[in-house]
Amino acid sequence: MQNSAPVTDDLHHQPAVKRAPATRKAAGRAIVAVASLGFLLVLLVQILHTTDTTAAGFSDWRPILVAYLIWAVAFAIAQVLIRGERGQRALFLLPAVFFTIAVVIFPTIFGIYIASLDWNLSSVEGPRFSGFGNLVGMLNDTYYWNALGNMIFYAVAVLGEYAIAFGLALLLSAEIRARKFFRVVFLLPIMLSPVAVSWMIGKSLLEYRFGPAATLARYLGWENPAFFASPWMARLSIQAMDAWVSIPFIMIILLAGLQAMPREVQEAAKVDGANGWQSFWHVTFPIMLPVSITVLIIRIIFKLKLADIVINVTAGGPGGATDTVSSFIYRVYRDRSNVGYGTALAMVYLVLIILLLTLLLRLSKRWTQRVV
């Protein structure tokens, strides 16, 4: 090892690194060639077998997975042989890259293909190509648009979660006793499984007849405490449950931001005679703005995946009022087993999410620049 600090040398101008000898390079290339050929051969055999052209083949596609794995290992070994030290460094990244290609990139591309099919998994007919048929169906699907509308409500509700979480973070960063106890307790909800929470809160605490929350509501004068009967009440109840689970996440990140804030800033505000509210609004809040925007964006990303609680408590009801896009697609699949249509809906949703996030990132960049 004669090269010095790993980061200081650029991989593209490496003068002193020992070059792999020509024979090793040739061996490496040969390995890649053989492995690729073998992989393609297995693939070809299986494709011919599935299309009933030849009898030889495997009963399922699992050997293809094994072949891919072998190919990836061979490729990695060849990198070391061909490129020496640089190959060894590539070895750190390659496993994650190959894994991601296999389980994210490939399924996503495959999903785009499925989205163009009319494919009912439970029928014997098999897939039928329908082009943009699914998209046309989507345009007329009022339930899908309704679910998208609900997502706007759920995403905006993140602001409410943020406000509560900021309050809690401020409480925890105040001079209090038993800070550790409160922090552990406030963090607990995030650990619980949303499915268990659906039962614990949605189906038992908020139960109409004898759930404690309903009893309390009756005591406070609400005659008919049905938490999931009217659309808005149901939406709010679902949102409240999701907030219960996720507020700790926002809180703990804001708390970290508050603790990283220099003490002098607060002291200076106090010396200047600012009262509590003023020092929060003019000092703490602006300093926390970058952290706040980051945590809000992360939280919105997670919110857009909301499904478990809705599926388990209301199954989208009443009348689709609480549906999220994910829970709706889940139901579409459960009821109609149409993978093509479901995937098409999901793909459109993904495109919308990417557009929204690009917009949010742009806006947040401009916003933080103007304030700071």
CB 188, min distance to another protein, A? 5
3-state class (DSSP) for residue 323: coil
198 is an interface residue for another protein by CB under 8 A:
yes
Spatial neighbors of 213 by CB under 8 A, at least 6 apart, are 205, 206, 225, 227
Distance (Å, whole) CA 99 – CA 101: 5
CB 117, min distance to another protein, A? 10
Give Cα separations from 235 to 70, 147, 212, 271 (angstroms).
50, 12, 20, 46
- Among 32, 70, 138, 171, contact with another protein (rule: CB under 8 A): 171
- Among 21, 131, 167, 319, contact with another protein (rule: CB under 8 A): 167
Nearer to another protein (CB atom), residue 27 or residue 171: 171
249 is an interface residue for another protein by CB under 8 A:
yes
Contact in structure between 234 and 321 (CB atoms under 8 Å):
yes
Residues 104-133 that bind another protein (CB under 8 A): 104, 107-108, 110-111, 114, 121
Residues 16-45 that bind another protein (CB under 8 A): none
Residues 48-77 that bind another protein (CB under 8 A): 60-62, 64-65
Spatial neighbors of 268 by CB under 8 A, at least 6 apart, are none
7 is an interface residue for another protein by CB under 8 A:
yes
257 is an interface residue for another protein by CB under 8 A:
yes
95 is an interface residue for another protein by CB under 8 A:
yes
Residues 278-317 that bind another protein (CB under 8 A): 278, 291, 294-295, 301, 304-305, 307-308, 311-312
Q: Long-range contacts: 195-204, Cβ < 8 Å, 24+?
A: 195/308, 195/312, 197/241, 197/244, 197/245, 197/309, 198/241, 198/308, 198/309, 198/312, 198/313, 199/312, 201/241, 201/244, 202/228, 202/237, 202/238, 202/241, 202/309, 202/312, 202/313, 202/314, 203/312, 203/313
Nearer to another protein (CB atom), residue 56 or residue 174: 174
- Among 74, 201, 238, 296, contact with another protein (rule: CB under 8 A): 201
349 is an interface residue for another protein by CB under 8 A:
yes
Stretch that binds another protein, among 81-89, 134-142, 227-235, 363-371 (CB under 8 A): 81-89
